[in-house]
Amino acid sequence: MRAYLELTKPRITWLILMSTGIGYFFGHSGTLGWSHLLHCLLGTALIASGTATLNQWYERSADARMRRTAARPLPSGRIAPRNALWFGIALLLLGETELALGVNPLTAWLGLFTVASYLLLYTPLKQKTWWSTTVGAFPGAMPPLIGFAAARGGLTLESWTLFAILFLWQFPHFYSIAWMYREDYSRAGIRMLPVLEPDGRSTARHALAFALVLIPASLLPGFLSMAGHWYLAAALLLGAIFLRAALRLHRERSAVNARGVLRASVLYLPLLYIALLLDSRRGLF
């Protein structure tokens, strides 16, 4: 059971649910429907877990060639590929059913788009082009839309603002990972940007550019009356810290500075969400 749980990548699923919950919070009106929210989070967790499982099933050969992934359940032989395949399919079916019946049809369609674009576009493109990172950022930024649609039954400018923040945040995050593990990716035949351009200049430049653009995007909730002045101050401070880490990587392309960007990204998102919640114009009850 531990190996099957590992297939679902629970740490990543937690981040997905955090973004989904933020979307739901800003989509609801009146009293927050905790039971409805639970259906949304459960369905999202199931499709996220199923997607992670099927992604590992597809990439099991590549994972076996990388040190950081060789111990995963499939390349290590702890789970048979056929069992992982059916396990992932079952999770996806359960998740889509939960979203369609327990939430609303729009949420289920958004979930289906997320799964399809991740598994049918992003995953195979990783072996073909470094643009896979950009393609993968679209399904990666879908959780706030799923949560917002679950609460509101539709999408508005506020929901797309949350989407934009998460979309832009992913680039410094994943480019730093790609730089740190570029040798692993090269052995597996995954065409990440630092694999194709080993000097890392373009990787660092992209990370810096997206960290910079993220700052004005993160201020939009304040101008859309989703949050107040305290949030704007927090967003500026967090954005400056994130940008500083990316600037260090741009100046000196080292594993230490790449890890600094990764660490800053991991702290940035939950802290920004907390600031949004604490200074929001909505109530939990």
- Note down pLDDT in tens along the chain; length 285 residues: 999 999 999 999 999 999 999 999 999 887 778 899 999 999 999 999 999 999 999 999 999 999 889 999 999 999 999 999 999 999 999 999 999 999 999 999 999 999 999 999 999 999 999 999 999 999 999 999 999 999 999 999 999 999 999 999 999 999 999 999 999 899 888 999 888 898 889 999 999 999 999 999 999 999 998 999 999 999 999 999 999 999 999 999 999 999 999 999 999 999 999 999 999 866 554
Joined tokens for residue 219: 């201020």
**What was the pLDDT predicted at 188?**
86
The whole-angstrom separation of Cα 234 and Cα 241 is 11
Q: How many residues make up the chain in this entry?
A: 285
The whole-angstrom separation of Cα 279 and Cα 133 is 32
Closest CA to 129 of 137, 121, 119: 121
User: 227 has which bridge partners?
Assistant: 280
Domain 1-155: give its CATH architecture.
Answer: Orthogonal Bundle (1.10)
177, 66 contact by CB (below 8 A): no
Scanning 29-142, the segments in alpha helix (DSSP H) are 34-58, 60-64, 81-102, 105-116, 123-125, 132-140
**What was the pLDDT predicted at 281?**
67
Q: Find the radius of gyration of the CA atoms of the chain.
A: 19
50, 66 contact by CB (below 8 A): no
47, 93 contact by CB (below 8 A): no
User: 280 has which bridge partners?
Assistant: 227
Joined tokens for residue 155: 């999408």
Phi and psi for 154 in degrees, rounded to 5? Answer: -165, 180
Domain ranges of the chain: 1-155, 157-285
Closest CA to 149 of 245, 77, 236, 44: 44
DSSP 8-state class, residue 31:
S
**What was the pLDDT predicted at 29?**
83
**What was the pLDDT predicted at 280?**
87
Using CA of residue 132, residue 268, residue 261, residue 243, what is the dihedral sign?
positive
